[in-house]
Amino acid sequence: MAVQDSPHVADVALDLAPAKPVTNTTAKPVHRLPVQIDWPTWAIVTTQAGILVGIIGLWEAAATTSVIDAFFWSQPSAIWHTLKIFFTTGDAWTDISFTFRSTIFGFLLGTAAGSLLGLSFWWSRNYAAIVQPYIICLESIPKLALAPLIILVFGIGLGSKVAVATALTLVVSTLTAYAGVKALDPDGEKLFYSLGATRWQVFRKLVVPFCLPWIISVLRVNIGLALTGAIVGEFIASQHGLGRAILYAGQTYDIALVWVAVLVLSTLAIIMYAAVSWLESLLRKGTRQ
Amino acid sequence: MHASSTDGTATPKVELRNVNLRYFSLEGETEALRDTSFSIAPGEFVAIIGQSGCGKSTLLSLISGILKPTDGAVLVDGKLVNGPSRKVGYMLQQDYLFEWRTILENAVLGAEIQGANMTTAREHAKQLLTKYGLGQFLHHLPRQLSGGMRQRVALARTLCTEPEIVLLDEPFAALDSQTRIALADEVTEILRREGKTAILVTHDIGEAISMSERVIVLSRRPGRVKSEHSIRFATSDGLRPNPFSARSAPEFNGYFNALWKELEVHVEG
Ligand SMILES: Nc1ncnc2c1ncn2[C@@H]1O[C@H](COP(=O)(O)OP(=O)(O)OP(=O)(O)O)[C@@H](O)[C@H]1O
Ligand SMILES: [Mg+2]
């Protein structure tokens, strides 16, 4: 019996022996693929609202107990009060409309002109080679630095704000549309010509639809840039607009009004961004990308 | 072995007379074709083989009229080619279906460019696509189709404008070998039945032998006609076998070895 048992015992010993170092090395934890349980939307939204209310509450409390200086930081109740005044007896709608128009016109003009310029490089390689360094130059200049000059040339009205917004969006659109043109396959053009197409037909039926996804992809970037351009234009010299309201309120230490204008501006930005995103998805569906 | 199929009596459908073609660029000029001459009879199916870069695609571009020869003459139906014409349909190596167009819209591209009656063109394209087994995909997008199906759409686009001459530039190169052989059968069948004159450029010797009646071998760049080989199969009914059965015909290997040698000579010198 004892003889029969011995190998069995030995087996156990063998099993145990390597088990020890294994338990020692588990000091470094290993991880499985992490499994995250997604919260339902309502839980996310409630938490987000909670955080917002918390921040506003803390701010208000800190201001009333003078933990922070309400003169510099203002406080939610005062901001709310100013907001109501801004929309009832103030210039809210004039300012919103002014900034909105500068942004939209600048966005449309810059995007359209830029895309056309970028597409036009398809027409001739020499022309593209000649113009390209200028575009790169324009791209690298901080366009906002030119804003004072633009205001001088275009005056302090809407035109100068549109011009700054256009300057910001134009170059981005040009370069993106040109990237599309460069991605064109020469054999695709060969096919068109072999079917007897004119250059204009190739442009309309091949180059434009091919580059559309590129053009569409910058719309959202451009609406943000156009708004920045419009605001900076208003900062420099303007009689209307949310940018001007912010600057004016800051200079007169009306901090509550600064917050109100920033709030309205952000809302405007979000609405325009959402509208452009919607337009983009619509266009993508239209062009089947 | 060096047989010419032009009988001299009828006007050839396509004729090249001492064609030279040089590409000019800043780096210098590239002589793609030098003194190339051959002719192709109406309804003939000719394959052109040759090393990569020997000017095969250039040759097709010349016949299609999108390139002008530096010297010499390209004639279709005895008339000098001076630009793309409706008589010639060009099918490229890649299918070039455009993603922003449905299958049907892709197929009628030629008609649209040529300003033809679109209602008739659509009807015709639908007929062709249905014939090629794509009837259910008329309103699909190219990316929803397999490689073989896309090539069939490209064929429909080429044939929709009713060309008399069809140029095929390695039309099956992007396909897997099974689809290739099956599609080669279909395409040959379609082109034969409709009596088209066809010129097929390929790297695949087997494809050239099985599909065509004559194989033209081009020399290394600058391309010239190195030799021509008539491909004949003895069949019981006297008709040409389809490409698939041609591959197992007793004559196939002989042709294959002969053409293989021709091409190998180029590699060595
Ligand atoms: N647009 C062009 N400009 C300059 N050189 C060119 C141009 N197109 C072709 N070539 C040159 O001409 C030669 C013949 O080109 P082609 O495309 O006709 O060759 P190919 O026989 O079709 O080659 P492959 O089998 O690889 O398709 C090549 O050496 C190529 O580099
Ligand atoms: Mg080629």
- Decide if B243 contacts B189 (C-beta within 8 A): no
Round to whole Å and give the CA distance between A118 and A128.
Answer: 9
Q: What mean pLDDT do residues B232-242 have?
A: 77
Q: Among partner residues A188, A196, A212, which is closest to B96 by beta-carbon distance?
A: A188
pLDDT value of position A257:
93
Residues of A in contact with B109 (CB under 8 A): 195, 205
Q: Are B183 and B172 in contact (CB under 8 A)?
A: yes
Note the pLDDT of residue B141.
92
Does residue A8 lie in a domain region?
no
pTM flag (> 0.90):
no
Asked if residue A150 is part of any domain, the answer here is yes
pLDDT for residue A5 is more than 50: no
Q: How many domains does chain A have?
A: 1
**Could you tell me what percent of chain B has a pLDDT over 70?**
94
Q: State the CATH number of the domain containing residue A151.
A: 1.10.3720.10
B61 vs A287: CB contact, 8 Å cut-off?
Answer: no
In a domain, A11, yes or no: no
Q: How confident is the model at residue B269 (pLDDT cuts 50, 70, 90)?
A: very low
In sequence order, the β-bridge partners of residue B89 are B166
A33 within a domain of the structure (yes/no): no
**Percentage, residues of chain A above pLDDT 90:** 72
Confidence at residue B40, expressed as pLDDT on a 0 to 100 scale: 93
Copy the structure tokens of residue B238: 């006297």
For the stretch A116-157, pLDDT in tens is 999 999 999 999 999 989 998 988 988 888 888 998 999 989
Contacts of B204 (CB under 8 A, 6+ apart): B172, B180
Q: What is the pLDDT of residue B219?
A: 86
Per-residue pLDDT reduced to its tens digit, A206-216: 999 999 999 99
Residue A152 included in any domain? yes
Average pLDDT (A155-175) is 93
Residue A105 located in a structural domain? yes
pLDDT at position A23: 52
- Compute, in angstroms, the gap from residue A206 CA to the centroid of ligand 1: 23
Full residue range of the structural domain in which residue A108 is found? 92-288
Whether A40 is in a domain gets the answer no
* B109's tokens: 């591209």
User: Is A190–B66 a contact, with Cβ atoms under 8 angstroms apart?
Assistant: yes
| pLDDT of amino acid A170 | 94
- Torsional sign, CA A238, A239, A242, A244: positive
Q: Residue with structure tokens 């649209």?
A: B112
Q: Is residue A149 part of a domain?
A: yes
| pLDDT tens digits, A97-124 | 999 999 999 999 999 999 999 999 999 9
pLDDT tens string B147-188: 889 989 999 999 999 999 999 999 888 788 888 888 888 889
Single-letter code of the amino acid located at B87: K
> Using beta carbons and an 8 Å cutoff, which residues of B are at the interface with A?
61, 64-66, 83-86, 88-90, 92-94, 96, 98-100, 109-110, 112-114, 141, 161
